[in-house]
Chains A and B, each alone.
Chain A
Amino acid sequence: MQIKVNGVERSYDGDPNLPLLWYVRDVLGLTGTKFGCGMALCGACTVHQDGKAIRSCVTSVSAAVGKEITTIEAVSKNGLHPVQEKWIEFNVPQCGYCQTGQIMQAISLLKDKPKPSDEDIDAGMAGNICRCGTYQRIRAAIKAAAGENA
């Protein structure tokens, strides 16, 4: 089968049930996408499928055939994505492990709701867990990014 990740199409002949997470991490070596739970409970593995956030740990490689998969490594064509800029400006991360997933989710959220309310942010980000508890800063960074998008 042919899998397209970050604009590059590759052939794959391994187990079609292999979750996309492990395809991008262990096969492609794109380690910005993280393993946290393997059950779509934490959001650390979030990537974009045709521009929308999905959990790569429960999406099989075969389900990604014919789709455009984008990982954190290619989320911005040049330099930092505005959401990444805000993440840095608001000094969001502590340990940082969940943050690439948070950023991928936030970018997707802002595509759907360019001016999200607090409730929109809470609902849109509810599936992304941060064990360090950086939620206040995540919310602030998303709001600031929304301002910039306008």
Chain B
Amino acid sequence: MSDSILNVSRRGFLQGIVSTGALILSVRMVPEFLWAAETSVGTHADRAALHPSLFVGIDTDGTVYLVAARSEMGTTSRTSVPLILADELDADWKRVKLEQAIGDKRYGDQDTDGSHSIRDGFGIMREAGATARLMLTQAAAQKWGVPVSECESDLHVIVHRRTKRKAGYGELAAAAAKLPVPKKEDLQFKPSSAWRYIGKGATSYDLADICTGKAGFGMDAHLEGMVFASVEHPPVLGGKVKSYDEKAPLQVKGVKQTIPIKPFTPPHHFQPLGGVAVIADNTWAAFQGRKKLNVSWDNGANASYNSDEYRKELQETARKPGKVARNIGDVDAVFAKGGKTMEAEYYLPHLAHATMEPPVAMADFRDGKVTIWAPTQSPQAVQETVAQELGIPPENVVCHVSLLGGGFGRKSKPDYAAEAAILSKAVGKPVKVVWSREDDIKFGYYHAVSAMYMKAALDEKGMPTAWLQRSVFPPIGSTFALNTTYGDGGDLGQGWIDLPFDIPNHRAENGPAENHVRIGWLRSVANIYHAFAAQSFANELAHASGRDSVEYLLELIGPARIIDVKATAPDYDNYDGSPAEFPLDTARMRRVVQLAAEKAGWGKRNLGKGSGMGIAVHRSFLTYVATVVEVEVDDKGEVKIPSVHTAVDAGIVVNPEATRAQFEGA
């Protein structure tokens, strides 16, 4: 460990972290701003001449420092949220330097999950930008002795049109800093017609670094003197180590020691799974050492978990009445009358996140404090989890956020960062914990396995007069509380109790399911199985009635209207969005269906033998999406997908190119 690292200066930290590029290995530098600034001296934004908000600082040289408090995992949150501020500030994006925030409650909610970074950030960023812009405008007016109302911003300058005077932001920063920070009610926001970046977007701030290998992912963290660790986890959730060979792993060249990690105390939450860690002087040696541990396990109650049996159990539960989560009219009365009915069952298995970058974290524990470097979607959860594990206050946990090589919800759960912290404390050195790909797949927080049962009564046109649906899945709540077997308003609000169809009798139910593995958020979360079941069933009904799927779907959605979901589903939470601002609007849903169908050439193209198109529409996390998939099946049953057309209505889109890319990838 070099002195520069012991001396907690910002420079010291930066020298300790490797990036790449240099062939001269003794100089291990990280590109500036790639990793979070150090806490004790704050951010560049904090130290800039004008600093009216946590999120922005303007220096006398005109550099605008913007703080990205959300994580980057490929969706451009790190770029697009600060871009909103830059727009409102009228800042030149080329003169902006981004800084990644450490985990710190002062930034408010830093969770980059649940599709809410832009939604949450929009108002906060505009307010910060407008505040700085007003202060710069006031400083310019003062300097020129003219009324503030005669001055306005242009790109990175304040102008006085009448006298054609201009002053740059850098030039005005010091004078602006002497002014009181204006009140929110005195701010004037740019009209949308004047937006520079919102709706046009920008490429990722890290694009060139990613393409040249200079970008700093969690896997790339490095401190002088660090050691590498790999953990043999219990093969069953809740399993415990009975015994293991402490000596054999040491025969592997590079292996230094083994350290047991205690099992978690239920509920598992984000605690490490426990097991045995192997410490080595490179990652591979740690992997090899694990093979010689010969751990004997006490596997506990979940050892008999068998996904085939469990599937049957979920399906049987789904066939029985469950807890009513939404009710409209009386489906039972309609079914009792007889007439044509249809039933269907759907099942989706567990899914693993499989981020390209497996879970990884580096920690450096010293003097009762720990510094973590991690690819995390939730640096504050890292602080809380690590604090709990080490028995230290959360403010003694500094969490630097690297780029994430994929997140998808896995990296919201910081069990791997807690492992690094525990091991650094035990070893007395910086430790980087690396999960192998096998570890990632075997020990994930899986997307819930689910079974759905559907039943509809159909009128003479084939339209449902009653629609019953039951969903059964081990809920995410089981991560946080024991004996949680029913979904909550969040789980069920994701595409189950907000079915947007115009059906007079409808009931949505949820049956119980116990978890035997860790269950966690995976991109789109419960919408994955709920949309699959509801939209597949709609298509099956259309098919059974000999109707065109698009026409049928539009009739199911019914006329353009706002649906008050909560009136019939009391636990509905609308993704924590206010129903006034983010209503369930069937006009928008109809529009994406029509647009996707139109662009795909639905009903207009001559599809050959074995070819067809299917359509689905869904509102997920307040965004409306319709997708038409063209499928070809040849004589051998080989399936090809020649085209997919997707129409998306996400409201205001800050970065259209990034949004498009995500749908291409999906």
Contact = CB atoms under 8 A, between A and B. Distances in A.
Interface of A: 6-8, 14-15, 18-19, 21-22, 25-39, 41-42, 44, 71-74, 80, 84, 87-88, 91-100, 103, 129-134, 136-137
B211 A6 contact: no
Contacts of A71: 213
Contacts of B21: 32, 73
Interface in B185-230: 203-204, 206-208, 210-217, 219-220, 222, 228
Given A71-B213, A93-B210, A31 B282 contact: no
B406 A97 contact: yes
Interface of B: 18-21, 23, 25, 28, 72-75, 203-204, 206-208, 210-217, 219-220, 222, 228, 253-254, 281-285, 287, 354-358, 403-408, 434, 436-437, 657, 661-662, 664-666
Given A34-B405, A96-B403, A131-B356, A29 B18 contact: yes
B254 A15 contact: yes
A44 B406 CA distance: 13
A36 B23 CA distance: 23
B331 to A, nearest CB: 39
A84 B208 CA distance: 8
Nearest to A97: B405
Contact of B213 (A32, A133, A137): A32
B211 A99 contact: yes
Contact of A36 (B73, B215, B437): B437
Given A31-B222, A39-B437, A133-B666, A19 B213 contact: no
Contacts of B75: 94
Contacts of B283: 22, 25-26, 35
B664 A22 contact: no
Given A94-B662, A95-B404, A132 B437 contact: no
Given A38-B437, A96-B405, A31 B19 contact: yes
Given A31-B18, A31-B213, A99-B210, A15 B285 contact: yes
A30 B217 contact: no
Nearest to B664: A136
Contact of A88 (B72, B207, B407): B207
A100 B213 contact: yes
Contacts of B212: 32, 72-73, 80, 84, 100
A84 B662 CA distance: 21
A29 B356 contact: no
A79 to B, nearest CB: 10
B83 to A, nearest CB: 15
14 contacts: A8-B23, A19-B284, A21-B284, A26-B228, A32-B213, A35-B434, A38-B287, A38-B437, A42-B356, A94-B661, A95-B73, A96-B204, A98-B356, A134-B661
Contacts of B665: 94, 130, 132-134
Contacts of A93: 74, 204, 207, 210-211
A133 B437 contact: no
| Residue with the highest number of chain B CB atoms closer than 10 Å, among A8, A33, A131, A134 | A131
Contacts of A8: 23
Contact of B356 (A28, A91, A95): A95
Contacts of A25: 283
Contacts of A31: 18-20, 213, 216-217, 219-220, 222
A19 B284 CA distance: 8
B214 A32 contact: yes
Given A22-B283, A35-B219, A28 B25 contact: yes
B212 to A, nearest CB: 6
Nearest to A71: B213
Given A15-B285, A22-B282, A100-B211, 19 more contacts: A25-B283, A29-B25, A31-B217, A32-B214, A38-B436, A72-B213, A73-B23, A74-B23, A84-B212, A91-B657, A93-B74, A95-B72, A95-B355, A95-B357, A96-B204, A96-B211, A97-B356, A131-B406, A137-B661
A133 B664 contact: yes
B74 A95 contact: yes
B282 A96 contact: no
Contacts of A15: 253-254, 285
| Residue with the highest number of chain A CB atoms closer than 10 Å, among B74, B75, B206, B222 | B74
Contacts of B664: 133-134, 136-137
A8 B25 CA distance: 11
A39 B661 CA distance: 29
A134 B217 CA distance: 18
Contacts of A44: 356
Contacts of B404: 95
B73 to A, nearest CB: 5
Contacts of B287: 38
A97 B228 CA distance: 20
A95 B405 contact: yes
Contacts of B437: 36-39, 41-42
Contacts of B206: 96
Contacts of B203: 88, 91
A91 B18 contact: no
